[in-house]
Amino acid sequence: MSAPRTRIQRRNHRLIMDAALNVFSQHGYRGSTLDQIAAEAGLSKPNLLYYFDSKEDIHRALLTELLDTWIEPLRRLDPAGEPRAEILAYVSRKLTMSREYPRESRLFAGEILQGAPRIEAFIRGELRTLVDEKAALIRAWARAGRIAPVQPYHLIFSIWALTQHYADFDAQMRMILGDDHDPMDGAEAHLTLVFERLLAPEPR
């Protein structure tokens, strides 16, 4: 059993993780180097290598730390809740994730664009199982007439696309809207309207 980390070791470990998140989210995995991460952390490269064996080791640690947080909003979709309110709350939680964790969103997107080599087992396993479970719930709500007929997997994919866009394509939106304009302004109201209309069941 390894000895507990000292306060300085905990601080340096956190510095490296935060610096790596900045570097990977800006430059992607392939465009990032240990030298960049060490410089961002304010540490020497040998000091960094005391904590991590390689760039991939740091990247994998960041992804592992992120994954549980990343799927928590979907886990909270409650079968006992009112269907439209539950789905709209999920949209809101995903948008909040994009607002509060933009670097993490870009880290995740970069991994997916590479073919998910470091998290394939997670996606094919835990994430797929969770999505299957929530898709079955959405399908049951639709069959009961509690929401409009929707393709549940594509509904989930659409929520991901429309909310994570605000983190992953922030630079593009700011260039279009103007650097002094927050792209998040009005985003939740707009997405709420979009999904309310999509999910509203036909009057009987």
What's the half-sphere exposure (Cβ side, CA atoms, 13 Å) at 175? 4
pLDDT of residue 6: 86
Q: Regarding the domain with residue range 1-52, which homologous superfamily does it belong to in the CATH classification?
A: Homeodomain-like (1.10.10.60)
Nearest to 108 by CA among 64, 65, 160, 63: 63
Residue limits of CATH 1.10.357.10 in the chain? 62-199
* pLDDT (average), residues 48-68: 92
Task: Give dist(CA 20, CA 136) in Å, integer.
Answer: 38
Specify the pLDDT at position 7.
Answer: 83
* Domain 62-199 listed as CATH 3.30.70.120: no
Could you report the per-residue pLDDT of 20-34, keeping only the tens digit for each?
A: 999 999 998 999 999
Tens-digit pLDDT profile for residues 90-139: 999 999 999 999 999 999 999 999 999 999 999 999 999 999 999 999 99
> What separation, in Å, do the N-terminal and C-terminal C-alpha atoms of the chain show?
64
User: Tell me, what's the pLDDT at 204?
Assistant: 65
Average pLDDT of the chain to the nearest whole number:
93
CATH 1.10.10.60 in the chain, residue ranges = 1-52
pTM score:
0.88
